[in-house]
Structure 1
Amino acid sequence: MTSEKLLHDFKQFLVVERHASSYTVDQYMTDLDQFSRFITKEQIDGFSEIKQSDLRIYLTELYEEGLSRVSVSRKLSSLRSFYTFLEKEGFVSVNPIEYVSSPKRDRKIPQFFYEEELAKLFETEDVSTPLGQRNQAIVEMLYATGVRVSELVQMKQDNFDFSLKTVLVQGKGKKQRYVPFGAYAEDALVTYLHDGRVELAHKTNEASDYVFLNHRGDPLTDEGVRYILNEMMKRAAITSTIHPHKLRHTFATHLLNQGADMRSVQELLGHESLSSTQIYTHVTKDYLQNIYNNAHPRA
């Protein structure tokens, strides 16, 4: 089977079986395309002929290009998933990446919004328009629930229980969890669902139960949400950068700063391991240190 066919089948696997977002699929395929070019350059006869020594050469080249350990680790993770798929489907008998360890990653302190910045963000939209109502509902939901953008765009109307103020979230690996949301998010959602979304839905003949729609009435994509947030930042005249995960980081940081326990935050975020949540303790420790320094008479 040709390399192009293997890559095509793997992409179909990511979309159909893994239900990966378009953003994730694009990242995987970009990494594998780079690896394919390396194979061609080294005159290696396809993915099945790769050896551990070839992978070491490839990793060395990535470092020589100036890539960070985080970027190299991500590319290695893409290869690991790809070769696991090839082995499972019987396209390779030996997994060359099985004993290749990922580089140790420097844990970056997650960036988050201060409350003053959030206040500006929440005041940028003209909520008398359908798109303004939608955008307000998006940013309120991202901050209220801490969901990933891929989870946000998958939300359907019947996932919401407004009597309990909870939403059923479809997480990674088809895992589901219930996440509560507050009064501000509820108000923004109700306004959008009863007004703005109705107008947007009328712009297409395709019936959709997805909550968040674009200007044509079709379901929003991950990229669409990123574009919306960037435009909101410009209108709010906030100089820091934004990405959907920054609101997720803000959600977790603010909860911990207000006394929420780590296990509860882990469950709300949908993290499989507590170690993924513990990165936020670095932020809260800095926060507590500042409080101590400002409040203690002999600090």
Structure 2
Amino acid sequence: MGAYVELAAPVRAEDPTDAVVAAWERDWLVGEHALSPNTVAAYTADVRDFMAFLSAIGIESFSEATTADISAWVGALAQRRLSPSSFRARICALRDLYRYLGAYGLADEGSLPYIDVPRKRESEERPLDRAQEAAVWATYDIDTPSHERDRAEFALMDDLGLRASEIVELDVGDLRSNDHDLWVHGKGGKARLLPIEEDTLSVVVHYMECARPHLKCANRRQDASALFLNTRGGRITRQAVWQSVSRHGKAAGVANLHPHQLRRTFASQMYRRNMDLRTIQEMLGHADLQTTGLYITPEAADIHERYDAALRAFWESSAEKEERAAELSETEDQRRYWLNSARISRERARFEQGGARD
């Protein structure tokens, strides 16, 4: 067995923060964790906020930053009255940076203080209910090519739970209309093939045939590969997808609607349709099944229904076992005992079937 070799850090503890962040981005976020370009850009932007604060107080390397310095930055964030989601994003990026710094001995991970991160509001976590989903759908028009594009994007996010970044990366060739499926390119370059329902497919095909050819300007060539185009003929951006969903959510009376909420809606709907978690995980493109579990928000009625179904299955199984025991009984008393037990179990199963509850 070969000797263990500790990987050397590509930078030194005393190096400027710019050099360290560049190495963190290249070797840790991309090389080690294979995060998407959009995620890497978001993490880097959030960390640069911290870097700017350190520079303003005369600190040029992360190894010089103390717990008090980090706490001062967190306090400054609080004074800026950032939205809870923006605050959480910055803290999440900082924690990941310090995991990298600690792993390579560039700074003490223990210098990161405890930070009380506000929990997500219930409206951010809960999926849309059926009435909200229908209300959002009703806000989409097809009077212009860009409106029809937005409608097709929403159809795919609502029906397949796609990320905004996955919508952006879709190419024309990814749609296989004859087979009713779509190639989706997820995080880390992982591709998955998803089935498309007929209604969603018709929305996307209509956009491709009737609206997409008109999304270009006179002095610019159209992107031949991108499925979703902006009005200049180039590939749509992630920010544009978010803005479109948010705008239609606001028009439908659903505040702060975002693409990730549509993913939660999709996951919860599939769960209510009795799709198993492993299949939902594959459709969402999650690497970890636990992540998929966090997306599931069963309604109270669903919980009662599944509870009743489990009890019903238990009593039916008990009745079958008791009836088999009656057949194998050696005496008449034993046979009567097991038949009576089976009768009671059948009655309990019918009770659960009827939905009665004390």
Q: TM-score range by the shorter chain?
A: 0.7 to 0.9
1:214 lines up with 2:230 in the alignment:
yes
8 Å CA contact 2:164, 2:241 repeated in 1: yes
What residue number does 2:50 align with? Answer: 35
The one-letter amino acid of 1:28's match is: Y
1:154 lines up with 2:154 in the alignment:
no
1:62 lines up with 2:62 in the alignment:
no
CA–CA separation in structure 1 for the residues paired with 2:242 and 2:232: 17
8 Å CA contact 1:73, 1:103 repeated in 2: no
| CA pair 258-7 structure 1, distance change in 2 beyond 3 A | same
More off after superposition, 225-234 vs 96-105: 96-105
CA–CA separation in structure 2 for the residues paired with 1:70 and 1:98: 25
More off after superposition, 38-47 vs 77-86: 77-86
1:73 shift after superposition:
6.3
What SS does structure 2 have at the residue aligned with 1:177?
strand
What residue number does 1:280 align with? Answer: 295
CA–CA separation in structure 1 for the residues paired with 2:30 and 2:173: 23
What residue number does 2:273 align with? Answer: 258
Deviations 1:183-204 (A, max 9, x none): 1210011101111001114653
RMSD (Å), alpha carbons: 3.8
1:229 lines up with 2:288 in the alignment:
no
Alignment of 1:122-133 (within 5 A): 122-133=137-148
| CA pair 10-218 structure 1, distance change in 2 beyond 3 A | farther
1:94 lines up with 2:100 in the alignment:
no
CA–CA separation in structure 2 for the residues paired with 1:31 and 1:102: 18
The one-letter amino acid of 1:118's match is: E
The one-letter amino acid of 2:302's match is: L
Deviations 1:63-112 (A, max 9, x none): 68659998776435423554677799xxx753533896987986876221
Q: Which has the larger radius of gyration?
A: 2
TM-score by length of 1: 0.78
| CA pair 207-72 structure 1, distance change in 2 beyond 3 A | closer
| CA pair 97-68 structure 1, distance change in 2 beyond 3 A | farther
| CA pair 285-98 structure 1, distance change in 2 beyond 3 A | farther
Unaligned runs of 5+ in 2: 1-14, 309-353
| CA pair 59-72 structure 1, distance change in 2 beyond 3 A | farther
Amino-acid identity (%): 25
CA–CA separation in structure 2 for the residues paired with 1:103 and 1:261: 36
The one-letter amino acid of 2:37's match is: A
1:126 shift after superposition:
2.6
CA–CA separation in structure 2 for the residues paired with 1:275 and 1:102: 25
Deviations 1:133-165 (A, max 9, x none): 211111101011101101111000111111222
Deviations 1:234-271 (A, max 9, x none): 44x32433101111111001110111111110111111
8 Å CA contact 1:147, 1:269 repeated in 2: yes
TM-score by length of 2: 0.67
Unaligned runs of 5+ in 1: none
